[in-house]
């Protein structure tokens, strides 16, 4: 596959004179192209669902979410992993991102880093990859040697490999258990894959990781119930979440939170089932941490 023939490297006929138009026309051209992204991602929803279902099995068995890529793609992976920790109460080793060139590459370009396929494999070897881990390889072109090398190594280990690219029939597919491929077309600025391709990757990463969190019991209704109250802001958020989930007062939420030693899921089950703390703990354990299942198991639902 010749790099210059990739769809992500083609010229966009809608923006060939973008350097000659007004700022409003310029913004309109970019906005029209951005609207194609949502439609391209929509076509990949069945594959996104497959990836969520496969990944949650490994994640619930102790597997880690490991994002890996180069440049913009790698940075988007680090961003998604980083945001999961405070949002869903994950430990540092449950989800993390690896970018070609190391964390220094988050702020600047490291020349040649994306061309080293052996380093992609070595970076995964250094985190002691196992067959229970989930490796998400992100590359707009589907040809980045670093990312391909990483996923090839992960596939050889037996890990679940999920490839995210914007080019069909790319080499990435051969090393991916599941490939997510939104075809967004040529960029407004030729080859600037931080634009539509980057937006599509961000959207898919959001859906993928959020879906895994939901199915692993870290969401109740549409509330992020694994928030850890560590300061005044998160304490207030925890109270609001409990009150909203149980349709009760903030005062009642505060009391339940205090009784459960700041455990939001336990506080919700305690209020919803009107039982004891010990009973609420048993219900949560029986439901593998899923609040909705725990509530349904109780005979004391209000």
DSSP 56: H
Q: Would you say 203 and 138 are in contact if contact means Cβ atoms under 8 Å apart? A: no
- Spot the catalytic one: 33, 44, 114, 272: 114
- Spot the catalytic one: 83, 173, 254, 279: 83
The verdict on whether 114 is a catalytic residue reads yes
How many angstroms separate the CA atoms of 52 and 55, rounded? 5
How many angstroms separate the CA atoms of 117 and 238, rounded? 44
Q: Would you say 14 and 29 are in contact if contact means Cβ atoms under 8 Å apart? A: yes
Question: How far is C-alpha 153 from the geometric centre of its chain's CA atoms?
Answer: 21
The verdict on whether 278 is a catalytic residue reads no
Alpha helices in 89-215 (DSSP H): 117-126, 145-157, 196-215
Q: Could you tell me the two tokens for 50?
A: 């497959």
DSSP 299: S
How many angstroms separate the CA atoms of 264 and 100, rounded? 37
Strand ordering across the sheet containing 160-164: 95-99, 65-69, 134-138, 160-164, 178-180
Alpha helices in the chain (DSSP H): 23-42, 45-60, 71-88, 117-126, 145-157, 196-215, 232-246, 250-259, 264-273, 277-286, 291-297
Helix, strand or coil, per DSSP, at residue 211: helix
Helix, strand or coil, per DSSP, at residue 67: strand
How many angstroms separate the CA atoms of 26 and 34, rounded? 13
Active-site residue set? 83, 114
């Amino acid at each position: 596959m010749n790099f210059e023939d990739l769809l992500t490297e083609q010229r966009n006929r809608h923006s060939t004179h973008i350097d000659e138009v007004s700022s409003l026309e310029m913004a309109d051209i970019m906005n029209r192209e951005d609207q194609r992204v949502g439609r391209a991602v929509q076509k990949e929803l069945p594959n996104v669902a497959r990836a969520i279902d496969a990944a949650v099995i490994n994640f619930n068995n102790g597997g880690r979410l490991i994002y890996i890529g180069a440049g913009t793609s790698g940075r988007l992976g680090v961003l998604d992993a980083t945001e999961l920790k405070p949002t869903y109460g994950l430990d540092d080793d449950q989800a993390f991102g690896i970018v070609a060139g190391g964390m220094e590459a988050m702020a600047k370009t490291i020349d040649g880093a994306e061309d080293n396929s052996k380093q992609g494999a070595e970076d995964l070897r250094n985190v002691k990859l196992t067959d229970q881990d989930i490796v998400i390889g992100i590359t707009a072109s589907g040809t980045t040697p670093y990312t391909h090398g990483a996923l090839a190594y992960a596939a050889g280990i037996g890990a679940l490999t999920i490839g995210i690219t914007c080019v069909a029939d790319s080499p990435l597919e051969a090393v991916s258990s599941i490939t997510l491929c939104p075809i967004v077309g040529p960029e407004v600025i030729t080859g600037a894959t931080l634009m539509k391709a980057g937006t599509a990757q961000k959207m898919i990463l959001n859906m993928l990781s959020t879906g895994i969190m939901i199915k692993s019991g870290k969401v109740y209704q549409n509330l992020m119930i694994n928030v850890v109250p560590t300061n005044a802001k998160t304490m207030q958020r925890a109270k609001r979440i409990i009150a909203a989930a149980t349709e009760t007062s903030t005062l009642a939420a505060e009391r339940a939170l205090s009784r459960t030693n700041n455990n939001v899921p336990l506080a919700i089950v305690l209020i919803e089932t009107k039982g004891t703390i010990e009973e609420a703990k048993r219900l949560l354990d029986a439901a593998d941490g899923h609040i909705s299942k725990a509530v349904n198991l109780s005979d004391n639902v209000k």
